[in-house]
Homo-oligomer: A and B are copies of this chain.
Amino acid sequence: MAITLFNTLTRKREEFVPLDRKEVRLYTCGPTVYNYAHIGNLRAYLFEDLLKRTLLFNNYNVKHVMNITDVGHLTSDADTGEDKMLKGAKREGKTVWEVAEFYIDAFNRDLFKLNILKPTILCRATDHITEQIELIKRLEKKGFTYVAGGNVYFDTSKLSDYGKLAQLNLNAEKTVQARVEKDANKRNPHDFVLWFTKSKFQEQEMKWASPWGEGYPGWHIECSAMSMKYLGEQFDIHCGGIDHIPVHHTNEIAQSEAATGKKPWVEYWLHNEFLVIGDNEKMAKSGDNFLTLSLIESKGYPALVYRYLCLGTHYRKPLMFSYEALEGAKNSYRRLTEKTLELKKEKTAMKEDKEIADEYLAVFTAQINDDLNTPQALATMWEMLGDAKLSGKGKFTLLLKFDKVLGLDLKNFKEEKIKVPAEVKKLAEERELARKNKDWKKSDELREKIKALGYVVGDTKEGYVVSKV
């Protein structure tokens, strides 16, 4: 069955046809590891995982490359602002290398908890400095660069189609000028740095030798260098959040197509919308007070509940986050897992099973192949689970098939995940009593004891909630 995807490059829904009939080559922009990922970042990785699972479901092999930005980068999309890695290091009194290690571990834990399939290749920018320098040299040889104020710039005026992804023309001009602080070295407002040797960050710890002097790469070059190393000079799909469209992905295209002379560099560009909290503000990692997966887990919402929540909103629609919505997802997920355990015990199939299951499978497949329409696919799943004409065994088999796409880890769901042991319950009750008596010290001690047993206790308006970590 054909897969239709909305391509940002053309602003149209298009039938997906990979360059190589058997293997899809996919690149997704990974994290900048100067802090924990917030749940808005995680929405992007969940969307990309859904895309990948959908491709696998349609019998494609997928070669998936994700980068880790572990080199100093700036707090804004522009070549200005504060160095993010450095800021993280200062805050924690560590070296930037230690900071990177710490947050890469945290990121991997998040992916694991969310049941996100591992990329085929997860590659670090600092391991690919040579490739980045080679790419800049290639651009230099073709006359696409200039040196000014000690830094190497990409000259966007050398391209006739710069900014085609953003499609903004005059508007884009205004937007970029408004967002980017003036840099007197730039010949054109859209030009960007490929290699820094001079910057306001004198304390910069990460530096490498280069033909232009000791320094470090600009923000965009790593994605072009690493994706082309592993996926070839042209590949199928590139993903990221919609915030990447006007600058980061625009510049990736510019430097990649300039270097190779081949167009299009990438066939399909897919972008997910933001997670939104309160009054239409996107959640930005650079701001203070952001929601992490650990934080919502500590409030009694397991990671897969967040995954279920995300499935309920189409990836190209803003996801309105609230604890009420998360509570709803939690209840649905609980019902789904209870149902799964119940169906697992059923051993008798019915002879009509195949026909009915095939029909549901066709509908489900059409829905996810329709630009990943997960809200509809969830409705089909629940419809199927309530269908008296299908046996319990038939439902269980089909549910596990659906879950190959949904990724809710239903196959591995065990009774004990929802049954809280008596011992833990008792500790939670004691803690509740301590809280009522305002004995915060004891309450904290009991929370630690519960944690040691592998559970977390959270507090809601309706009382405490215990969940497996």
Contact = CB atoms under 8 A, between A and B. Distances in A.
29 contacts: A4-B320, A12-B280, A13-B280, A13-B320, A170-B170, A171-B171, A312-B376, A313-B376, A314-B314, A314-B317, A314-B375, A317-B317, A320-B370, A324-B366, A328-B363, A331-B359, A332-B363, A332-B380, A335-B383, A335-B387, A339-B386, A373-B375, A375-B375, A375-B379, A378-B379, A379-B379, A379-B381, A382-B383, A382-B385
Interface string A307-324: 000001110010010001
Listed from nearest, the 10 A-B pairs whose CB atoms lie closest are: A386-B386, A382-B382, A375-B375, A379-B379, A382-B383, A378-B379, A328-B363, A385-B386, A312-B376, A379-B382
Interface of A: 4, 12-13, 170-171, 280, 312-314, 317, 320, 324-325, 328, 331-332, 335, 339, 342, 359, 363, 366, 370, 373, 375-376, 378-383, 385-388
Number of copies: 2
A363 B331 contact: yes
Nearest to A379: B379
A110 to B, nearest CB: 25
A382 B376 contact: no
B382 A328 contact: no
A318 to B, nearest CB: 8
Contact of A366 (B328, B375, B387): B328
Contacts of A370: 320
Residue picked from A313, A320, A382, most chain B C-beta under 10 Å: A382
Contacts of A380: 332
Nearest to A276: B13
Nearest to A395: B386
B332 A383 contact: yes
A342 B436 CA distance: 48
Contacts of A280: 12-13
A233 to B, nearest CB: 30
A313 B374 CA distance: 11
A140 B47 CA distance: 56
Contacts of A382: 379, 382-383, 385-386
Contacts of A388: 342
Nearest to A328: B363
